[in-house]
Structure 1
Amino acid sequence: MTSWFTYLGLDYGWAWFIATIIDILVIALPLMLAVAMIIYADRKIWAAMALRRGPNVVGPLGLLQSFADGLKVFLQETIIPSAANKGLFLIAPIITFTVALIVWAVVPFQAGVVLANINVGLLYVLAASSLGVYGIIIAGWASNSKYPFYSALRAAAQMVSYEVSIGFVLISVVLWAGSFNLSTIVEAQRGYAWGWINGNFINPLLFPMAVVFFISSLAETQRAPFDLTEAESELVAGYQTEYSSMSFALYWLGEYANVILMCALNAVLFWGGYLPPLNVGWMYAVPGIIWLFAKILFFFFLFSWVKATVPRYRYDQLMRLGWKIFLPLSLIFVFVVSGYLMWMRVGIPS
């Protein structure tokens, strides 16, 4: 691609800049389409579990329903409460939506196919994903309404609580793989199909942490049964109560983009990422990106399944699970994994 830019008379700096922009669009545009389709899939899964039809009118099989909803909110009037802080009120959904996109820069779609293959990719994921709560906190504060403000406080406490246990879970993964680079973490799972199965052997060190990470992902994305920030029984619509039109749509898109991201991280960190599910020759002929997308869809089905079947937790139950169960459990497994790796390296003294 650089040779084409050189042929057009552009120097290396401009060629690199334009090539990077193209790479970003190649990731961002399909992701936006995937968000629209995943919303449709979410509604169809809920409908099937409730013995309903779901979207089936707009477009063939209802496939255009998400686009119709997007057009509807686009044509609505943007209403800003008179007592709101207008600057913060408008910037909050932009923060949420942007943060949901920038984390994809370090996700490996296939061997060697990643926008930014940095050595501290996992730390980048933690840092960028932690910024998402600011969009919710700012929205609750800027709305100047008590229900969004209560929701923002809940979101802050909830994300802090579960990010602590997620941090210890990721320490276990880093110890096992010996790197913060996501591509290296995937390659470290080669030979362990989906990260924890090797033939008939089940690795007990990573599988419990995979379960903890999956449940914590539900809490991080405010999905049921942890959707206390949008508890309509006590908080109306939560932090987005005062939002309308495209401001509301950005929260809508950001939420589902975060869900897809968490599904991708579950696949990459514990289930082999772009690697095939079994060490079978013909499976390696399938492009790795297909396996990654298949695993993302599987985890998204689990997300929808949980939302359709599990009742919402009380807030004290949410905090108890995060601080009294997941935090000690993840901390214990840090010692277990590090002790096992040391034992494997040094051996049992005679």
Structure 2
Amino acid sequence: MSVELFGLSLNPWADAAIRLQIIVGFMTVVVMGLIYAERKVLARFHQRIGPQRTGPKGTLQSVADAVKLVGKEDLRPAAADPWTFELAPYFVFIPIFLGFVIVPWVQGWNVRILELGILYFVAISSISIVGWLMAGWGSDNRYAIIGALRAAAQGISYELPLVLALLSAAMIAGSFQLDRIVEFQDTVPILVWQPLGFFIFFVAALAELNRTPFDIPVGESEIVGGPFVEYSGIRWSMFFLAEYAGMLIMAFVGSSVFLGGYAWPFGEELGLPFQILISAAKGGLFIFLIFWVRASVPRLRIDQLMGYSWKVLLPFSFLQIMINGLVLVYDLPHVILLVTGVALLGALFWVTDGIARRPLQPRRKLARVLAVQESEG
């Protein structure tokens, strides 16, 4: 049995090895570019210059950081569980790259076309939670364990709104296959019919990626560095690479599902170079929004973070699913989706603003005082 790759006839094992090396190499270069871009964007927001010393305009700063990390000693705490500690980075690193299988970069450029592509993406992305728990437990460090438990609670809480937001878009497109969802949007992007779903997906994606303001699992001011506080060298860089690779996957999945991917606004028959530019521009816009949020929004409290998912995003997600079902079952005009989506999005913003401005409730303050008194007594 042989497989065609770049015009060459290869056996399946050689084909898989070559494709794996291409994905890892491509992602390493792209992630290094994302790190540099984030530093420059945040510097602009903060009225700073950013990296400028290493290479032209600081473009080699990420390369210098990578060389430094690879050269550092790979340490393991004496009390750590050796197998759990050493395997944890792979449970975070590998699922991220498996997610690239279903991303429709341009027409016909899928690594693999899956009929249940969205479900595959959700299932694969949830495996990284196991890696975070393994890293925290295997480190035998109190801060690492607290960070791992925070990451697990946050990931499970925001996985549901993320799934429902993607499901709402799949209902409109009539398919779970990402390339068909993109082709459905050759004239109008799903964002027009699902503004609420897009916002819920964006917020849930921030939480799944542990990005600001949902970065309590790695809060340096509270728990030093979270589950990978004891990691160094190449193992720490695997966590770091997985974070930015996950950001790239979320950006391209979000742009494919809600922004039309390579198809909108010029149609799916556009030439390959233009499809690449359109797809990259939409993914870049999504990533820029993530950078913008990091520069603008402070970290949430743990009660705000958990309550926002279960009390706000989840009910609004179910409401969006119900409205989509009514429109599809009774064949109502799609403009109803736009009107109700904008109205619900306004209501969600109003609720979000109220939660952000609300202080801790007095009974919680009293409970903390009583807990302190009990521990001192």
Judge same fold: TM > 0.5, yes or no: yes
How far does residue 286 in structure 1 lie from its aligned partner after superposition? 4.5
Distance in 2 (alpha carbons) for counterparts of 1:212 and 1:346: 23
Superposition RMSD in Å: 2.1
> Which of 25, 42, 46 does residue 46 from structure 1 map onto?
42
2:350 equivalent in structure 1: none
Task: Work out whether residues 209 and 243 of structure 2, in 8 Å CA contact, stay in contact via their aligned partners in 1.
Answer: yes
Which whole-Å deviations, capped at 9, do the CAs of 1:285-325 have from their partners, x for residues lacking one? 75322211111111111111110111100000001110111
Instruction: Return the letter of the residue paired with 1:165.
Output: P
255-264 or 166-175, which moves further after superposition?
A: 166-175
Mapping for residues 195-210 of structure 1, pairs under 5 Å:
195-196=190-191, 202-203=192-193, 206-210=194-198
How far does residue 74 in structure 1 lie from its aligned partner after superposition? 1.0
Instruction: Return the letter of the residue paired with 2:150.
Output: R
2:306 equivalent in structure 1: 319
284-293 or 305-314, which moves further after superposition?
A: 284-293
User: Where do 5+ consecutive residues of structure 1 fail to align?
Assistant: 197-201
SS in 1 for 2:199: helix
Q: Does 1:22 align with 2:9?
A: no
Q: Does 1:222 align with 2:217?
A: no
Q: Does 1:274 align with 2:274?
A: no
How far does residue 26 in structure 1 lie from its aligned partner after superposition? 3.3
Task: Work out whether residues 114 and 177 of structure 2, in 8 Å CA contact, stay in contact via their aligned partners in 1.
Answer: yes
Instruction: Return the letter of the residue paired with 2:119.
Output: L
2:185 equivalent in structure 1: 189
How far does residue 139 in structure 1 lie from its aligned partner after superposition? 0.3
Mapping for residues 278-317 of structure 1, pairs under 5 Å:
278-279=265-266, 286-317=273-304
How far does residue 92 in structure 1 lie from its aligned partner after superposition? 0.7
Which whole-Å deviations, capped at 9, do the CAs of 1:159-187 have from their partners, x for residues lacking one? 00000111211221121111111111111
Q: Does 1:241 align with 2:229?
A: yes
SS in 2 for 1:287: helix
Task: Work out whether residues 24 and 115 of structure 1, in 8 Å CA contact, stay in contact via their aligned partners in 2.
Answer: no
Distance in 2 (alpha carbons) for counterparts of 1:22 and 1:291: 27
Distance in 2 (alpha carbons) for counterparts of 1:282 and 1:310: 40
2:73 equivalent in structure 1: 77
**Segments of 4+ moved more than 2 angstroms:** 1-6, 16-28, 278-287
Instruction: Return the letter of the residue paired with 1:87.
Output: W
Higher relative contact order (CA 8 A, sep 6+): 1
- The total of aligned residue pairs comes to 331
Mapping for residues 79-94 of structure 1, pairs under 5 Å:
79-94=75-90
Distance in 1 (alpha carbons) for counterparts of 2:116 and 2:269: 33
291-300 or 137-146, which moves further after superposition?
A: 291-300
Q: Does 1:260 align with 2:255?
A: no
Q: Does 1:32 align with 2:28?
A: yes
Structure 2 vs 1, CA of residues 241 and 175 (structure 1 numbering), >3 Å: closer, same or farther? same
Q: Does 1:2 align with 2:17?
A: no
Task: Work out whether residues 133 and 155 of structure 1, in 8 Å CA contact, stay in contact via their aligned partners in 2.
Answer: yes
How far does residue 81 in structure 1 lie from its aligned partner after superposition? 0.3
SS in 2 for 1:324: helix
How far does residue 338 in structure 1 lie from its aligned partner after superposition? 1.1
Q: Percent identity?
A: 35
| TM-score of the aligned structures, taking structure 2 as reference length | 0.83
